[in-house]
């Protein structure tokens, strides 16, 4: 698909069909996500129109597919101002509901599907009872993203343990005074453990329930620069906690920077976790 185009080619639609059928065969549910969008504060009108046109093609092509097996996340990780995003999300739901009246749509908050922004945004005026509200969960960020090259000011350290063990902590070197990494490093002993994650998710669920927001977590995970032992411990904890609070959770990702494979096989430490 060309940059700026609104026309999906047949290959893209065929790939979506093939993916859906593979999921049906494996008894999996499928979420199709509008990823890597270009929406910003300046182009909100034209880009919203473009997003709607693209989604209409997907909806028309997959209209007959099961509402119980196929869900649509209308936009991934918006970065606009919160009021602009809420207005845009309301429009997306309202216009696309005309095309697909019964399917579950998934909507997140501003700031990259931030949970605080989602709870501030609250329920959309176009909510018809067929919306799930998503958030991404990567706390503590310095652990889940350790060594990530795209946020070097916060994640240049590697070797951070989960759960926290003081003797295994790397030294904090080269951080500027009052930088975010120092603050996260200081919080790390409190946040890198099961109890913190449990209380954090409990608070999120409580606040969402007050607003009648049904939640789904469409991303959690740990970068492969973390040790396999720490990664597997975190994934076991966070997925069990989400399950405890009836929040469906999805892993980012499967076979890339946050993947769970070693070569072509699942990491040994994660095999039993996957079965659970």
Query: What is the structure's pLDDT at 78?
Result: 96
- Residue 255, token pair as written in the block: 């076979």
**Residue 172 domain-assigned (yes or no):** no
Distances (CA, A) of 153 to 124, 157, 177, 190, 223: 35, 10, 12, 21, 16
Distances (CA, A) of 249 to 4, 137, 267: 32, 10, 20
**Residue 214 domain-assigned (yes or no):** yes
- Residue 210, token pair as written in the block: 């007050």
Query: What is the structure's pLDDT at 184?
Result: 86
**Residue 215 domain-assigned (yes or no):** yes
**Residue 176 domain-assigned (yes or no):** no
**Residue 247 domain-assigned (yes or no):** yes
Helices (H), 62-136: 82-97, 110-113, 115-121
Cis preceding linkage at 140, omega within 30? yes
Query: What is the structure's pLDDT at 171?
Result: 84
**Residue 141 domain-assigned (yes or no):** yes
Q: What is the CATH number of the domain that holds 91?
A: 3.20.20.80
- Residue 26's domain comprises 10-147+194-275
> What does each of the 276 residues of the chain score in pLDDT, given as a tens digit?
566 678 888 999 999 999 999 999 999 999 999 998 899 999 999 999 999 999 999 999 998 899 999 999 999 999 999 999 999 999 999 999 999 999 999 999 999 999 999 999 999 999 999 999 999 999 999 999 998 888 766 677 889 999 999 999 988 876 666 677 788 888 999 999 999 999 999 999 999 999 999 999 999 999 999 999 999 999 999 999 999 999 999 999 888 999 988 888 888 888 888 766
**Residue 189 domain-assigned (yes or no):** no
Query: What is the structure's pLDDT at 206?
Result: 98
Which residues have C-beta within 8 Å of that of residue 76, sequence separation ≥ 6?
A: 33, 34, 35, 36, 37, 108, 113
**Residue 169 domain-assigned (yes or no):** no
- For the chain, what is the domain count? 1
Query: What is the structure's pLDDT at 148?
Result: 86
Q: What is the DSSP letter of 65?
A: S
């Amino acid at each position: 698909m060309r940059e700026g185009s609104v026309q999906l080619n047949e290959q893209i639609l065929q790939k979506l069909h093939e993916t859906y059928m593979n999921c049906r065969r494996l008894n999996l549910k499928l979420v199709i996500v509008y990823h890597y969008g270009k929406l910003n504060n300046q182009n909100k009108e034209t880009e919203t129109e473009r997003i709607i046109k693209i989604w209409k093609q997907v909806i028309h092509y997959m209209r007959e597919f099961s509402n119980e097996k196929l869900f649509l996340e209308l936009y991934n990780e918006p970065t606009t101002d919160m009021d602009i995003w809420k207005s845009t999300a309301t429009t997306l739901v309202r216009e696309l509901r005309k095309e697909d009246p019964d399917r579950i749509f998934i909507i997140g908050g501003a700031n990259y599907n931030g949970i605080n922004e989602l709870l501030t945004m609250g329920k959309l005026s176009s909510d018809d009872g067929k919306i799930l509200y998503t958030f991404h969960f990567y706390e503590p960020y310095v652990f889940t993203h350790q060594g990530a090259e795209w946020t070097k000011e916060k994640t240049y350290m590697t070797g951070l343990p989960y759960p926290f063990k003081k003797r295994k902590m790397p030294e904090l070197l080269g951080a500027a005074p009052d930088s975010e990494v120092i603050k996260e490093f200081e919080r790390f002993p409190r946040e890198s453990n099961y109890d913190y994650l449990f209380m954090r998710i409990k608070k999120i669920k409580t606040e969402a329930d007050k607003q009648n927001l049904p939640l789904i977590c469409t991303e959690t995970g740990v970068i492969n620069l973390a040790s396999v032992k720490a990664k597997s411990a975190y994934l076991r904890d966070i997925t069990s906690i989400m399950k405890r609070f009836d929040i469906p959770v999805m892993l980012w990702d499967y076979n890339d920077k946050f993947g769970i494979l070693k070569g072509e096989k699942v990491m040994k430490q994660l095999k039993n976790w996957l079965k659970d």
